[in-house]
Amino acid sequence: MEHTPGDTLQLQLDPDIAAAFQSAAKWARFIAIVCFIFIGFFSVILLLALAMNAGLDTMENVAPGLQFTLLFIFLIPFTLVMIQLYRFANRTKEAIQRQDQEMLNRGLRNLRIYLSVYGVLSIISIVGSIFNLIREF
């Protein structure tokens, strides 16, 4: 069945669903804030290690400067994911408080971006694990 734009489906955001959305938003906000602190902390440690020209034991063959550049590059998608999660949390909470349909849609868009980046990173991680598995044989 095709729904035309603006066509309201039978689904409603009843108080129970709104409460579940708000609770999800509250926890998502907490997770995002903790991750922001972790990212900041990790960045400071990386900068300090870079200043001291220290390297990692696990990456002996790679120059220390390149090691930390790679780690910073790894932090970028992680930070973007957390920004989307934080936006989802704030916008969803605000949408329910203000009964703003547009805000709710924007919050869900942020959740979708969070899940899509997370999904791509998960697939990359699986490919890495498979390579690791092949290397063991």
Partner 1 sequence: MENSNLNLFQLSVDHETSEELRRCSYWAKIVAMAAFISAVLSIIILFIKPLDESEQMLVIMGTIITVVINVVIHVFLYRFATKTTTAIDNASQHDFSEGIAGLQTYFKILGIIIIIVLSVIVLVIPVFLIALSMGMLA
Closest CA to 85 of 8, 28, 125: 28
Among 48, 76, 80, 119, binds partner 1 (CB under 8 A): 119
**Shortest gap between Cβ of 53 and partner 1 (angstroms)?**
24
Candidates 41-49, 60-68, 70-78, 109-117: pick the segment binding partner 1 (CB under 8 A): 109-117
CB 77 within 8 A of CB 121: yes
Cα 28 to Cα 106: distance, rounded to the nearest angstrom: 16
Smallest distance, Å, CB 48 to partner 1? 18
Give the end-to-end CA distance of the chain in Å, rounded to a whole number: 51
Per-residue contact string for residues 20-59; x = within reach of partner 1 by CB under 8 A: xx-xx--xx-xx--x-------------------------
Question: 127 with 135: CB under 8 angstroms?
Answer: no
3-class state of residue 54 by DSSP: coil
Provide the minimum distance between the beta carbon of 92 and partner 1 in the complex, in angstroms, as a whole number.
Answer: 10
Least Cβ distance, residue 12 to partner 1 (angstroms) = 5
Instruction: Give residues in contact with partner 1 (CB under 8 A).
Output: 3-18, 20-21, 23-24, 27-28, 30-31, 34, 95-96, 99-101, 104-105, 108-109, 111-112, 115-116, 118-119, 122-123, 125-126, 129-130, 132-133, 136-137
